[in-house]
Amino acid sequence: DSVSILPGTPSEVWRYRAELLKGPESTVSENPDSYLGPTIRLRRGQTVKIHIHNELPEDTTVHWHGLHVPSDVDGQPRLPIRPGEMMTVGFEVLDRAGLFWYHSHAHGEQGGRVGFQSYAGLAGLLIVEDDEELGLRLPAGSDELLLVLQDRTFEGANELVYLDGGMGAMMDRMRGFLGDRMLVNGTPPTTRNVATRPYRLRVLNGSNARIYKLAWSDERPITVIGADGGLLQQPENKPYVVLAPAQRLDLWVDLSDSRPGSTLELVSDSYEAGMMSGGMMGGMGMMGNATLPAGSRFTLMTLEVTDSTNTTEPLPAELARARKKIPVTDATPVRQFELSHAMMRGFAINGRRFAGTTVADSEKVRLGDTEIWEFRNNTPMPHPMHVHGLQFNVIGRETRGNGRGWSGLTQGLVDSGWHDTVLVMPGEAVQLAMTFERFDGLYIYHCHNMEHEDNGMMRYFQVQ
Ligand code: C2O
Ligand code: CU
Ligand code: CU
């Protein structure tokens, strides 16, 4: 199968375009009404070949976030596509079913361009399907709602504004960009007509830095069926769920008992964010972004029950059997990563900032090994830490104090299942179990707050 992705001509929006050359028509669906790239649907086990044309005035890359692919097609900063160039990448889809995404991973001489390029439109959804998941007969077609959450700031003739200089931009660089309005799939939040039956909501946080606290407006529990790396073993009910940048959640909601005419809103509920993170305490009226500080409450989508067609497919109690948790023993080696921020030096991991493909001895791992990676957050900001090329299990969290202001999120962290991005709260140490399977070579790990990533909170590691 072959899919072409072309970033659009430079304007206030940069777009991916895709052209299907071979394969089922359902592989690519364009998002014509938005700046988002096309949604790509793949089957586990298939091979995909993609031509990427760079029509931008600067280097770019395309990273397949969350997919287990060889280092050379991982879309890393070391493999830029120059302006006017075309790159062809091919890989076999090895991952189990799940919601993934793709986005720019460019890094120029002056620093990272991930924040800017993804903000300008270089991002889109990638769905992997497999037999195990299809066999569960979860809500599909129009009963499966895909939601990409992004905040943006507009100016004048609907131009996107990103870090436009001044004090506000300095703040944004430190805490991460926060837009002044919410977009869902590239458009303002809308009302969707639904029927009295179950729905599946697959949500990506495609924002540069904003953290969402997803909840239902009638305070019913939120049912989680999957995370970054696909379905959980069993569904879980939570009062609300936290979705950090780059993370995905698979949610299920049953509207069979809803009255026709009634509405239900998916909201991002309010929470207290720390001073340094543009929370209502620190951000409001101080520097920039007075209109939608971190931790504001807003509606993401309204479901209006307009139809009373029931289908009776119940949610299976057992969702996933195929992939068992990574076995960990007392002998499993632990590798520690200290996350730090110093005013003049910026963000660092174990005291080191992004330095191209330079890899420290402590960043070399053995192919086939299982390790525990522990991220220790010594900053007053949360960091969504992401590891390329694999899915991990979250096996522990310890709070070491210093997490002031963020306690309103702790009940909504989804730690079971498979993840490629984990939120590490201020003052917290989080342990992840991971296995470096199949592919050797260079990969990266970084904070997925895109401004942190672009400003040094990213490193290469080597599988050898
Ligand atoms: Cu979406 Cu390097 O990440
Ligand atoms: Cu990634
Ligand atoms: Cu960070």
**Ligand located closest to 101 CA:** 1
**Ligand located closest to 76 CA:** 1
- Contact between 461 and 444 under an 8 Å Cβ cutoff? The reply is yes
Give the model's pLDDT for residue 164.
74
pLDDT at 231 over 60: yes
**pLDDT tens, position by position, 128-159:** 999 999 999 999 999 999 999 999 988 766 77
Give the model's pLDDT for residue 372.
98
Same domain, 285 and 259: yes
Same domain, 218 and 167: yes
Q: Dump strand ranges (E) for 239-279.
A: 241-243, 248-254, 263-268
Ligand 1 pocket member 452 (CB < 6 A): no
Give the model's pLDDT for residue 38.
97
**Ligand located closest to 452 CA:** 3
Same domain, 344 and 288: no
Percentage, residues of the chain above pLDDT 90: 78
Give φ, ψ of 168 to 5 degrees. Answer: -60, -45
Q: How sure is the predictor about 287, in pLDDT bands with cuts at 50, 70 and 90?
A: very low
Distance 66 CA to ligand 1 centre (A): 8
* Average pLDDT, integer, range 145-174: 83
Percentage, residues of the chain above pLDDT 70: 92
Give the model's pLDDT for residue 276.
63
Q: Which two tokens stand for residue 212?
A: 């969402």
Residue 91: Cβ within 10 Å count = 19
pLDDT at 289 over 50: no
Give the model's pLDDT for residue 4.
55
pLDDT at 405 over 70: no
Same domain, 106 and 248: no
* Average pLDDT, integer, range 192-210: 97
Distance CA 462, CA 464 (A): 6
**pLDDT tens, position by position, 102-137:** 999 999 888 899 999 999 999 999 999 999 999 999
Q: What rounded mean pLDDT belongs to the chain?
A: 91
Atom of ligand 1 nearest to the CA of 76: 2
Same domain, 288 and 265: yes
Same domain, 402 and 365: yes
Residue 295 falls inside a structural domain: yes
**pLDDT tens, position by position, 407-452:** 789 899 999 999 999 999 999 999 999 999 999 999 999 999 999 9
Same domain, 191 and 257: yes
Give the model's pLDDT for residue 312.
72
Same domain, 154 and 282: yes
pLDDT at 345 over 70: yes
Residue 329 falls inside a structural domain: no
User: Among residues 63, 96, 131, which one ends one of the domains?
Assistant: 131
Residue 251 falls inside a structural domain: yes
Same domain, 146 and 118: no
Ligand 1 pocket member 248 (CB < 6 A): no
Question: How many domains are there within the chain?
Answer: 3
Q: How sure is the predictor about 310, in pLDDT bands with cuts at 50, 70 and 90?
A: confident
Residue 323 falls inside a structural domain: no
Residue 148: Cβ within 10 Å count = 23
What range does the domain containing 215 cover?
141-307
Q: Which two tokens stand for residue 226?
A: 């999957």
Closest CA to 243 of 268, 211, 270: 211
**pLDDT tens, position by position, 8-24:** 544 568 999 999 998 89
User: Among residues 131, 165, 200, which one ends one of the domains?
Assistant: 131
pLDDT at 343 over 80: no
Ligand 1 atom 3 nearest Cα: 65
pLDDT at 281 over 50: no
Handedness of CA 300, 306, 307, 312 (dihedral sign): positive
- Residues, CB-to-ion distance under 5 Å, ligand 2: 65, 388
Same domain, 299 and 153: yes
Distance 349 CA to ligand 2 centre (A): 17
Same domain, 433 and 303: no
> What residue spans of 397-464 are helical by DSSP H?
450-454
In the chain the first and final C-alpha atoms are separated, in Å, by 31
Question: How many residues are there in the chain?
Answer: 464
pLDDT at 101 over 80: yes
Buried (b) or exposed (e) across 271-299, using 16+ Cβ within 10 A?
Answer: bebbebbbbbbbbeeebbbeebbbbbeee
Distance 302 CA to ligand 2 centre (A): 31
Distance 419 CA to ligand 3 centre (A): 17
CATH of the domain at 100: 2.60.40.420
